[in-house]
Amino acid sequence: MSTERRTPNPRAPARLTARLRARIARPTRRGWAVFGLAVVFYLFANQTQVSWLYLFAALALGVWLASAGAPGRMLRGLTLARWLDDAPPAAAADREHHVGEAATVTLELRNPGGQPAVHIRGLEVCPFAPAADREQPFFVSAPARGSVRLSYSTLFARRGWFEFPPLRLSCRAPFGFFTAERALAAPTGVLVFPEYRVLQRFPLLDRRPAVQNPLAAVGPGSEFVGVREYRPGDPPRHVHWRSTARAGRLVVKEFAEETRPGLTILLDVRASVVIGAAADDTLERAIRAAATLVHYADGRGLSVTLASNHRDFPAPPGP
C-alpha cells in the first residue's frame, strides 16, 4: 500500500486569513461603548434588583450580538470588475496609453447574494495616477443580486507597467458596532508608454541621405556583384549557367546587400548622470525626446534601433 505525501500549498494560510478577516468582525469604539453600557446596566440591576435595568442590559447585549455577524455577511460573496476608458476590458486592453493622457477607471461591484450590502466603504489605489489622486475612497451600497458601478478620472502620470492592488473594502453595518474588512482582487495591468510630441518636420530624417559604402557587403539584394562556387542551400535560380558551363561545376551569382537609412537612438541611463526631480529629470526628458523621434521615424517607414548602456537594451552588434 503506497501513500502519497502532499506538498502544502504556501498560499493556503493567506487564503484562510483572508476568509477569517471577512467573516470575523471586530468591535468598534461604539461597539465597545454599547457592550460596556450593557455590563453597567447588568451590574446596577444585580445590585438594585430593578427589573427594567435587566431589560435594558438584555436589550443592549442582544442588539450588540445580533449585529456582530452583519458586516462579514455583507462583504462575503462580493466580486469586482475593473476596466479603463469606459470600454469593456477586452477592448480597453488593445488601446495604447501615454503619459499625460486622461484616464477613466471604472469599478463594478457585484452582489450575488439575496440581501443588500449597505454602508460599504472602499479604498481604490491607482498606481499610475499623480500622488494627489492615487487614493480614491468611496462609499456605496450594492443591491441584492445586483451591482453598482462607479468611476473616477485621473491622469497617466508615470510610464511603465502597473498592476492595480486589491481593492480594500470595509463595512460597519447596520449600527456601526462592528467592522469587517476584505480585499477584492481584480487583476488589471496597464502599460503606459512615454509621452511624445508630434513633429511636423525633422530635416535630419527628411533628407534620407544615401548610404556611402565603398565595400558592398554580399547579401540578399538585387545588384549583381560577381560569381562564386555553388554552396548547399543556394537557390537554383541564382545559378549562372554560362560560368557553370565554362568551369565544369556549378557557379552561382552574388548580389550586394541592400541597405536603407535608419535611426539609432542611444540613451545614457546611468543614475549618476540623472539630474532633477523624479517626474521631470533629465532621463525622463531624454526618454520623451526619444519617443518623439521614434514616432516620427516610424511614420516615415524608417527602421529604428534603441540602444543604451543598460544590459536590457545593449548596443546592436555591427562594425
What radius of gyration, in Å, describes the C-alpha atoms of the chain?
A: 35
| Nearest by Cα to 302 from 274, 256, 262, 275 | 262
Strand arrangement of the beta sheet that strand 189-193 belongs to: 97-98, 189-193, 160-163
Q: Is the pLDDT of residue 257 over 90?
A: no
Q: How confident is the model at residue 185 (pLDDT cuts 50, 70, 90)?
A: very high
Question: Left, alpha or beta for 91 (phi > 0: left; psi -120 to 50: alpha)?
Answer: alpha
Q: What is the pLDDT of residue 217?
A: 47
In the beta sheet, which residues pair with residue 149? 108
Domain boundaries, the chain: 15-193, 194-210+260-319, 212-256
Pick the CATH number of 15-193 from 1.10.10.1100, 2.60.40.10, 1.10.340.70, 3.30.70.141: 2.60.40.10
Q: Is the pLDDT of residue 68 over 60?
A: yes
Q: What is the pLDDT of residue 214?
A: 43
Q: What is the mean pLDDT of residues 255-283?
A: 75
Sign of CA dihedral 225, 228, 231, 236: positive
pLDDT in tens, 280-302: 788 888 889 889 998 888 888 88
Q: How confident is the model at residue 12 (pLDDT cuts 50, 70, 90)?
A: low
Pull the grid cell for residue 37.
453600557
- Cell 511603465 belongs to residue: 160
Q: Which helix (H) or strand (E) holds 242?
A: helix 241-247
Q: What is the pLDDT of residue 305?
A: 84
pLDDT in tens, 150-181: 999 999 998 989 999 999 999 998 899 999 99
| Nearest by Cα to 265 from 228, 236, 308 | 308
